[in-house]
Amino acid sequence: MKRTKIIDVLKSTEYGKEVCVKGWVRTHRSSKAVDFIALNDGSTIKNVQIVVDPTKFDEQVLKDITTGACISAEGTLVESQGAGQSSEIQATKLEVYGLCGNDYPMQKKGQSFEVMRKNAHMRLRTNTFGAVMRIRHNMAMAIHTYFHEHGFFYFHTPLITASDCEGAGNMFQVTTKNLYDLKKDENGKIIYDDDFFGEQTSLTVSGQLEGELGATALGSIYTFGPTFRAENSNTPRHLAEFWMVEPEVAFLDQEELMDLEEDFIKYCVRWALDNCKDDLEFLNKMIDKTLIERLEGVLKETFVRLPYTEGINILQEAIKNGKKFEFPCNWGDDLASEHERYLVEEHFKKPVIMTDYPRAFKSFYMKQNQDTADGGSVGYKGAVAPGPTMQGTDVLFPQIGEIIGGSVREESYDKLMGEINRREMDQTHLWWYIDTRKWGSCPHAGFGLGFERLILFVTGMQNIRDVIPFPRTPKSAEF
Ligand code: 4AD
Ligand code: MG
């Protein structure tokens, strides 16, 4: 008999109809008169209840139906007598596909996420990970739908590259080896061949530079793919392999870039509220009691648009009033997450789009603000800064910190080259990027949203390792 997904069985009111469901047993309660099997197939957080008359089934089959076992069940769809569920199945046929013994690591309820991480191959079968993965899928759909509806083209940028977009040097190098013909040195050490491409290549940290080529030809593009960073940051917000969404738009200015960032995030959050109701309710109950309230709250807020210099003034004022921070935050310092959190969670109590950062710690490609005669600069809405600034526009979020990093791009050939030279950057692998400023250069802007950081916010999960199926972090790439 053809299988029906449990999500559809639970919606159906065709009582009396024969159905077949297949999935993994969540619980099996038995008594003399009746057995109840809660079955889940991953299509929804909800289980279907299978009601079994034990006298009609082989005793061994019923014994084999333990938590975690994989079974097929056929029976009659009936209206449920139990509270909180609409339909259930009166079993007529049960088949066990896969037994599951007591050593099943996901058997116990309420396991810590740390223990579950060690069982990344099995944790996907738990309610929490099922919910997170369905939401992750939905967020990917939200992203594609948003950009498609707004006339952006999905643009594929390479994962293997010879350029370093962020200039931070934290890239994974690409080498080759033929497993069947390993070259070894005299000490028996494997010699890796890193000349496959005729030059040294790495895994990309961002698709932005190639994305700019797309935007300056197609108008509006977005990338959505894996990016790699060999930063040794063991934090709940960093992965060595994470997914990034990078829209890039021709003729977009600083204000319009902020509009796009805000509108896009709100669209994704609204999508989750509209399309992931059951999973969000589960997470709201089990993980974070204020989750749905926070998601709804973000939709009502107008994000604060704040020049970095004003942000520093607010932090300095807080210090004067007794606030203690671990790290300094004088003008020119890169903000630590404690500073970002203070601004977002304590001072404004809503998301902040921070802009006009000091040139010293931002990337070479950002649009430079107008310098003043005394060494300062003029930025967003005429705000004056004491040093040179660039039109970076990062979105800082409650609980998360930086969820988006973006900027208006420097379109002037002379200014861009001035910055590249000032930083003494190697231009060998940037010639094609520089060409965009030579021929038909145009104002443009874009940003990168850390997909997993969005998922963290939308699910209320606390650790980025728990919102991607197979996290890659320092010393951990097993699954
Ligand atoms: O701020 P970042 O480094 O910006 C860029 O890479 C730009 N080229 C993007 C652009 O303008 N097209 O990274 C963008 C975002 C961050 O705001 C953060 O959300 C996420 O990517 N991110 C990480 N997420 C998980 N693990 C890491 N190690 C991350 N590093 C950055
Ligand atoms: Mg950043």
Distance between CA 112 and CA 70 in Å, rounded?
A: 24
For residue 174, how many other CB atoms are within 10 A of its CB? 17
Q: Is 206 in the pocket of ligand 1 (CB under 6 A)?
A: yes
Q: Is 448 in the pocket of ligand 1 (CB under 6 A)?
A: yes
Distance between CA 200 and CA 37 in Å, rounded?
A: 57
Residue-wise burial string across 379-391, b where 16 or more C-beta atoms lie within 10 A, e elsewhere = bbeebebeebbbb
Question: Residue 175's pLDDT is what?
Answer: 83
pTM over 0.90: yes
Question: Residue 194's pLDDT is what?
Answer: 64
CA of 404 to the centre of ligand 1 (A): 7
| Nearest atom (ligand 1) to Cα of 404 | 17
Distance between CA 159 and CA 210 in Å, rounded?
A: 11
Pairing of strands 220-228, 241-250: antiparallel
ipTM of the shown complex = 0.99
The residues, ordered by sequence, that sit 6+ positions from 77 with a Cβ below 8 Å of its Cβ are 9, 12, 14, 15, 16, 17, 18, 19, 87, 88, 89
CA of 71 to the centre of ligand 1 (A): 43
Q: Is 253 in the pocket of ligand 1 (CB under 6 A)?
A: no
CA of 450 to the centre of ligand 2 (A): 10
Question: Residue 203's pLDDT is what?
Answer: 97
Q: Where are the domains of the chain?
A: 6-98, 127-170+205-466
CA of 207 to the centre of ligand 1 (A): 11
Q: Is 68 in the pocket of ligand 1 (CB under 6 A)?
A: no
* CB under 5 Å of ion ligand 2: residues: 405
Number of helical H runs and strand E runs in the chain: 13, 19
CA of 27 to the centre of ligand 1 (A): 41
Q: Which ligand is nearest to the CA of 208?
A: 1
Hunting for tokens 């990337």 — which residue is that? Answer: 363
Question: Residue 461's pLDDT is what?
Answer: 98
Fold annotation for 6-98? OB fold (Dihydrolipoamide Acetyltransferase, E2P) (2.40.50)
| Nearest atom (ligand 1) to Cα of 394 | 17
CA of 322 to the centre of ligand 2 (A): 29
Question: Residue 109's pLDDT is what?
Answer: 79
Q: What is the mean pLDDT of each run of 10 residues along the chain (479 residues)?
A: 96 96 97 95 98 96 97 96 82 98 87 91 95 98 98 98 87 80 79 75 96 98 98 92 98 98 98 98 97 97 98 98 97 95 97 98 97 97 97 96 97 98 93 97 98 98 97 87
CB of 194 closer than 8 Å to CB of 174:
yes
Given the candidates 3.30.930.10, 1.20.1090.10, 3.40.50.620, 2.30.29.30, the CATH classification of the domain at 127-170+205-466 is 3.30.930.10
